[in-house]
Amino acid sequence: MQPFSLFSLGRVLLVSLEEDIDDAGIGELLTRVSSQVSGEAISGVIVDLHHFEVMDSHLARQLQALARMLRLLQARMVVVGLCVPVVMTLLDFGISLPEMEFALDVEQALVRLQEGKQAEGGRAP
């Protein structure tokens, strides 16, 4: 079984990660997401981590790399589904995730992505 699932929601890609994802799975995830974002004109990616009870610094760095990669592809990433123990672990270990946006659930992430798209539309080139 694959440690992640990809679901297309129009111009948004929903990525659901399983807690048992390893380095090979993360590599495959980065490849598939980047190819789908560039090939299908995806403007936003929602990463759902509700299956996670623990997050280590390695996975946090990989998620930051994904956020940077998506920014280069003109897409935004919003992370959802963080449970309290994961947040507490990140805080306890001093892991900051400055390049990521967060929302409580997929619905709020969709709203956040939509608001960002409207704000960008109002800017001068």
Burial (CB < 10 A; 0-12, 13-18, 19+), residue 67, is: buried
Residue whose pair of structure tokens reads 């929601």 in the numeric block? 9
Q: Which spans in 10-105 are helix H?
A: 23-39, 57-72, 84-92
Q: Domain residue spans in the chain?
A: 4-121
- pLDDT by residue (tens digit) across 16-44? 999 889 989 999 999 999 999 999 989 99
Superfamily of domain 4-121: STAS domain (3.30.750.24)
- pLDDT by residue (tens digit) across 63-118? 999 999 999 999 999 999 999 988 888 888 888 888 889 999 999 999 999 987 76
Task: Find out whether 78 and 47 touch, Cβ atoms under 8 Å.
Answer: yes
